[in-house]
Amino acid sequence: MNYRPDTKFIHGGTREEPYHGSLSTPIFQTSTFTFPDAEEGALRFSGEKDGYIYSRLSNPTVKVFEEKVAVAEGADMGLAFASGMAAISAVFTSLTSAGDHIICSNGIYGCTFGLLKLLKEKYQISHDFCDMRNEQQLRSMIQPNTKCLFIESPANPTMKLIDLAWTADIAHECGIKVVVDNTFSSPYLQQPLRLGCDIVVHSATKYLSGHGDVIGGVVAGSRSYIQELAQTAQKDYGGIMAPMDAWLLIRGMKTLPIRMDRHSSNAVNIVEKLKQHPRVEKVNYPTDKDHPDSSFAHKQMSQGGGVLSFQLKGDKGDAQQLMNQLKLVRIAVSLGDAETLIQHPATMTHSLIPAKDREAMGINDSLLRLSVGLEAWQDIWFDLLQALEGCAHKR
């Protein structure tokens, strides 16, 4: 049945379990699974027969979550990890060998930057940052040993966007895989695989969870790639998802469409108010008419999402002062929660990136990132307004 997206997020990937007709997916809180006889065990280990062996390899609760993500992203399969960074690490190491090369979009998450630095220092896997909106620059950076393009779109925290379909076409001309971190959009707002990209990663901690109570990551892609990833990087590195975490994510995904609609509509209202305030220099939001990449957003996203960033007229002290004036909005570095969260990228999520690199990415000391929550948008704005006015009086 070709269900609409809202229905797919509730029913996609679920299966009928023979446990007393439980509507909720059971939590298989077990490390290992027994075999009815020795021959069955041998068949499962050889791969000749399906069945569970050990929860580091596969677990029924985790499997349901993986299937739900695959349905949502339009992928053949999904594979769950203990965190978003475990997922990204597994993808990078699965696609590259020592001496290979990765091209990344400008403006990426600080820990992804740190991972790339580690890969370069320890394994000579080099990387370059590229404005992938510039065809000449992108083509000039492609080397014979380039194995993947890694894209954040929207980028964290600048909200820059990349034309995913166009970029995938260029990469595939050269036999290069395209990996997209789709965390900020969620599969409800954007499906990179349907635009021609090869692999999608998520920090499931964020919108897929939606409640700030679980850490997790997931990769989605073709059956051949995910099976290979499961048999190598996931199995041998061991960065697996726990059954309880998978259960929380299954629950979270059922309300993802409703939450993303509210996050997005709230964010649009906050963007309009911030743009009108004299203390605000600039607001970055994907679907805003003043965003230089808004045409990409309207082409590949159904809505703008719940994250925005804004630049104050001032410096780091002004940004920190504003944050300290807030009462409803909480200071925290995650996003996608029911609560509205604010953070200062230059001293928090992107602090390990050298200042000159941050500046090149568009992350300066007066930039703040706001994850707009599910509260009444008027209450969110009132809190931001009183903080903006309070800072203005103290200048």
Which residues does the annotation mark as catalytic? 56, 109, 181, 206
Q: Is the peptide bond before 278 cis (omega within 30 degrees of 0)?
A: no
Q: How far is CA 312 from CA 77, 294, 317, 330, in A?
A: 43, 21, 11, 18
Bin 330: left if φ > 0, else alpha if -120 < ψ < 50, else beta: beta
Using alpha carbons, select from 286, 270, 284 the residue that is nearest to residue 190: 286
SS3 letters across 71-100: HHHCCCEEEEECCHHHHHHHHHHHHCCCCC
Pairing status of strand 280-284 against strand 307-312: antiparallel
What tokens were used for 28?
């298989």
Element (H, E) at 331: strand 330-331
Q: Is the peptide bond before 187 cis (omega within 30 degrees of 0)?
A: no
3-state secondary structure (DSSP) of residue 339: coil
Element (H, E) at 148: strand 146-152
